Amino acid sequence: MFRKKHKQSISAEQNKMQTIQPQAPIKASTHPPINLNPFIPSLPKFKDKTKINVRYTLIAPYASAHIYWDNKLKEVVYDVEEPVLNKNERKILELIKQGMYEIVNVNVLAEKNQEQILDYIDKTAKLLITELGLKVSKATYNKLFYYFYRDFVGLNEIEPLMRDYFIEDIECNGINTPIYVVHRLYRNLRTNIVYKSMEKLASFVEKLAQRCGKYVSYASPLLDGSLPDGSRVNATYTTDVTSRGPSFTIRKFTKIPWTPIQLVAFNTLSPEMLAYFWLIIQHKFNILITGGTGSGKTTLLNALTFFIPPEARIVSIEDTRELNIPRENWLPSVARTGIGLTGIGEIDLFTLLKESFRQRPDYVIVGEVRGKEAYVLFQGMASGHASISTIHADSVEAVIKRLETPPIELSPTLLNVLDVVAIMTHAVVKNQETRRLKQIVEIVEVTPDGTAYTNTPFIWNPADDRFYFRVESKVFEKIMARYGISKEELLKEFQIRTKLIYEMYKRKIFDFYEVQAVINEYYKDPTSVLKKFGLV
């Protein structure tokens, strides 16, 4: 029933599917059950890669992911398992799909909700089956319906990958080479999906462009856009640009991002680091998160937003929607590219950021600073707007160099409004690729010649994979001076919040909304929260 590379045990749900017996030819009725948001499992970690063998549902009850160690390839691979069609079923599928291409109204699909779309596809398919005089059993139709959904409503072969909560990136390098994915736990994995036809891959890139509201052609072969769900797409259309043929990379938009407590569970950072961030965010200090591509900057940024006081107004500015902040008083803004060669109608980060300060935000969040918008951001910091953002750099020195040189060109003295730099890094721990918060660096002073004096209260030691901290904090001193809090009182609060975060981790409180509820309640009534967790 499912496409597999070798013999493996099948889950009870999948096994149940295999035993469906053919029935009488179908009649018009509601569409077969299909669950596009199945339960998200808690996946195990493996010290030994060769022991990895996990399977979970992507589109119930039809498509599953199977991640396992492949002895021939000597690596961990990712197989998409879908209903297997026999020769006759494949022939019927292509026949019906050909008819559907001619009569399915794409505009109608765009106007309907998910359930209405499934009903529309169902009725259209059944109409064609009747008109063509085909005999199709219920079991066969259920399998066919999955492919109708996948290819007309979804994104064809990669639709199951788009539905995988754990996948961050989907990468296609051309024809006759497997698609690779970046998995949140198991990192870079080759899949069993391969495009073997140049024409088919080019057609799919065209489909991606249409879904992004863009256009690609031989004259304009590069695509940079966003899918309706917020996922970012970069693609090429011709062999002139990429020798293996059309290619694409999709950076998925995460509807449910990692919570701060989950990052503790992954050992990305320590409870002390989170307690530190909680205090400085509450007291409106400015944070810049740095690191290389895919080092976890946006993941950390999203996690830190949990600590923003519940009554605060947040304005976020991004070029591609990646943030998901669990609160109502949040205004998300996304940049828009222009039309044509002249870029008519373009709204860039600089314009959005400039306008955001007129919307009376308590906190300004910029997904990533790359150009002239950095000047507006730092001016906002100087005028008292607490700001959090990310930038590509691997050290404080590299951050200052990027901010001082074109295209940003900030005055070094303006950098003094920045309080904290958090440096994320890729790391290999016990032969496992992972992410770590390498350092938290406080900016003490930046001189006119660009020399930075810093203090580093937190550091990750790769030798033993542990985090170390010291109590001496220049930002804590600023909090004490600005808010009239004694050192004893502040350190006590730091210890209490560290214990609370660790207790949430021990109790496995990872749910997106539950974590935010505990933090919000602590702001309003800390004593009751501490009693609930046995900390008083």
What does the pLDDT average to over 197-225? 91
- C-alpha–C-alpha distance, residues 363 and 310, integer Å: 12
Write down the pLDDT at residue 106: 62
Q: What DSSP string describes 382-451?
A: HTT-EEEEEEEBSSHHHHHHHHHSTTT---GGGGGG--EEEEEEEEEETTEEEEEEEEEEEEEEE-TTS-
Can you state the percent helix, strand and coil of the chain, rounding each to 5? 40, 25, 40
86 by DSSP, 3-state: which? coil
Residue 111 pLDDT grade (very low, low, confident, very high; cuts 50, 70, 90): low
Q: 260-532 in CATH: which number?
A: 3.40.50.300
Write down the pLDDT at residue 340: 54
- The third-level CATH classification (topology) of the domain covering 166-253 is Beta-Lactamase (3.30.450)
Write down the pLDDT at residue 391: 94
What does the pLDDT average to over 78-87? 96
**For residues 79-96, b (16+ Cβ closer than 10 Å) or e, as one string?**
bbbbbebeeebeebbeeb
Token representation of residue 506: 């021990």
Residue 16 pLDDT grade (very low, low, confident, very high; cuts 50, 70, 90): very low
Which amino acid, 235?
A
Model confidence pLDDT, tens digit, residues 374-413 = 888 888 898 888 999 999 999 999 999 999 988 888 988 8
* Chain position carrying tokens 């949040």: 330
Write down the pLDDT at residue 380: 86
- Residue 509 reports pLDDT greater than 60: yes
- Residue 12 reports pLDDT greater than 90: no
Q: Is 136 left (phi over 0), alpha (psi -120 to 50) or beta?
A: beta
Model confidence pLDDT, tens digit, residues 270-282 = 999 999 999 999 9
| Residues 452, 423 contacting (CB under 8 angstroms) | no
* Chain position carrying tokens 């290819």: 151
Residue 23 pLDDT grade (very low, low, confident, very high; cuts 50, 70, 90): very low
Residue 109 pLDDT grade (very low, low, confident, very high; cuts 50, 70, 90): low
Q: Order of strands, edge to edge, in the sheet holding 420-429?
A: 330-334, 314-318, 363-366, 386-392, 287-291, 420-429, 432-446, 452-461, 466-469
Q: H helices within 158-291, ranges in order?
A: 159-162, 198-211, 260-265, 271-282
* Extents of the domains making up the chain: 1-165, 166-253, 260-532
Write down the pLDDT at residue 428: 83
- C-alpha–C-alpha distance, residues 164 and 183, integer Å: 9
How many CB atoms are closer than 10 A to CB 19? Answer: 8
What does the pLDDT average to over 44-70? 94
| Residues 321, 348 contacting (CB under 8 angstroms) | no
Residue 59 pLDDT grade (very low, low, confident, very high; cuts 50, 70, 90): very high
120 vs 341: which has the higher pLDDT: 120
Element (H, E) at 469: strand 466-469
Write down the pLDDT at residue 61: 94
Residue 220 pLDDT grade (very low, low, confident, very high; cuts 50, 70, 90): confident
- C-alpha–C-alpha distance, residues 495 and 360, integer Å: 33
CA distances 485 to 164, 295, 526, Å, are: 47, 35, 17
- Residue 224 reports pLDDT greater than 80: yes
Model confidence pLDDT, tens digit, residues 233-270 = 999 998 777 788 899 999 988 777 889 999 999 999 99
- C-alpha–C-alpha distance, residues 1 and 203, integer Å: 28
Write down the pLDDT at residue 10: 33
Considering the chain, what is the average pLDDT of its residues? Answer: 88
* Chain position carrying tokens 């249409």: 210
- C-alpha–C-alpha distance, residues 399 and 420, integer Å: 12
